Structure 1
Amino acid sequence: MVNTTYQVQGMTCGHCVSAVSAEVGAIPGVQDVQVDLAAGRVTVSSDQPLDPAAVRAAVDEAGYDLVDA
């Protein structure tokens, strides 16, 4: 299992958490998505390392911005 944490800007409420969780959770290989709204962090558990472009696209589709590390 691979756990990766991403910083996401623009999340402010429970709907934000649901939207990001749904979009990122739809990426093939993702097993779990945990969103820390207060910290703006999304931790993704997957069965293999994820393509950063796929994560960025999913966060963008949800309406938020992935912060470059």
Structure 2
Amino acid sequence: MLVKMLHDKGVRSDHCYDAGLASIGLSIVSWVVSIQAEDAGVSRADRWGIFVGEWAPTFFALGLALRQYED
């Protein structure tokens, strides 16, 4: 089971929650950097922001699963 393997490797639910929050912040940063650094326009920056922002729900779901496993 993935959750057991992660727990055995030392990953805790708090780590996943922190990663989820970090991915939200990274999504905003990647959007701003893409707007400023590339001439591709807002649509490309939106794609970068959405791509990175999609990681957050996965990290939060893993955090919930690990929290249940820890309890």
Settle same-fold status: TM greater than 0.5: no
Larger radius of gyration: 2
Structure in which a larger fraction of residues adopt helix: 2
Normalising by the residue count of structure 1, what TM-score does the alignment of the two structures yield? 0.30
